[in-house]
Amino acid sequence: SGTQEERAQETPSPAHRFAETVELRVAKITQVESHPKADKLYIEQIDLGSEQRQIISGLVGHYEPAELVGKNVIVVANLKTAKLRGEMSQGMLLAAEADEMIEVLFLDDAKPGDRVGLSGLDSGESPKEISIDEFFEHPISVVENVVQVDGVEFEAAGKRVETSRVENGTVG
């Protein structure tokens, strides 16, 4: 049974569980078009460095296509493919939210395919595919403009991931 301290060391922290479960990658948005069957959705073509994918996001009304094309963003790369209103989505773009404000997590200093991780934590392996429900079991937050899980900061290309407009909020 061991001491409380030993048992606490055996239970992975929420940040460790996130690092072992969720694979975040940098992707460049190469094309954005309106979803033909949904007024609030965009269909985005993305470049993950080693492959091209299509994702669907609910950014209509928050961003114009021209504000997204050519930008590097964070995507959940190991999310199971889903059909949204008849179109396939092969991942999910991450954005911070507070009240009614939505802010896409842009990464100007990173390149497509770069891994986005948690400071000091790296599972080293690509995690298995996960469902959207499994992804949301790991709450991501913004605290004083810094994106984190359980107090551990996100990093990409050697820099912490920060927001410019959402000071405190959630990420999804």
The H or E element that residue 148 is part of is strand 146-149
Q: For residue 9, what pLDDT is reported?
A: 58
| pLDDT tens-digit series, residues 25-60 | 999 999 999 999 989 999 999 999 999 999 999 999
Flag whether pLDDT at 111 surpasses 90: yes
Task: Tell me the CB-side half-sphere exposure of residue 42, using CA atoms within 13 A.
Answer: 23
Stretch 86-91: mean pLDDT: 92
Flag whether pLDDT at 104 surpasses 60: yes
Structure tokens that stand for 33 in this block: 């078009």
Q: Any residues with CB less than 8 A from the CB of 171 and at least 6 apart, and which?
A: 94, 95, 96, 97, 105, 140, 141, 142, 147
Q: For residue 79, what pLDDT is reported?
A: 94
* d(C-alpha 138, C-alpha 140), whole Å: 6
How does the average pLDDT of the chain come out, rounded? 91
Stretch 118-139: mean pLDDT: 85
- Answer whether 0.85 is exceeded by the pTM: yes
Q: For residue 144, what pLDDT is reported?
A: 97
Residues belonging to the chain: 172
* d(C-alpha 126, C-alpha 11), whole Å: 21
Burial class (CB in 10 A: 0-12, 13-18, 19+), 99: exposed
* d(C-alpha 23, C-alpha 85), whole Å: 25
| pLDDT tens-digit series, residues 8-22 | 556 788 888 888 899
**What is the C-alpha R_g of the chain?**
16
- Which residue has 């190469």 as its token pair? 30
Percent of the chain topping pLDDT 70:
93
Q: What is the DSSP letter of 93?
A: E
Helix (H/G/I), strand (E/B), else coil: 9: helix
Measure the CA angle with vertex 90, ends 124 and 146; round to 5°.
55
Stretch 140-148: mean pLDDT: 96
Q: For residue 85, what pLDDT is reported?
A: 87
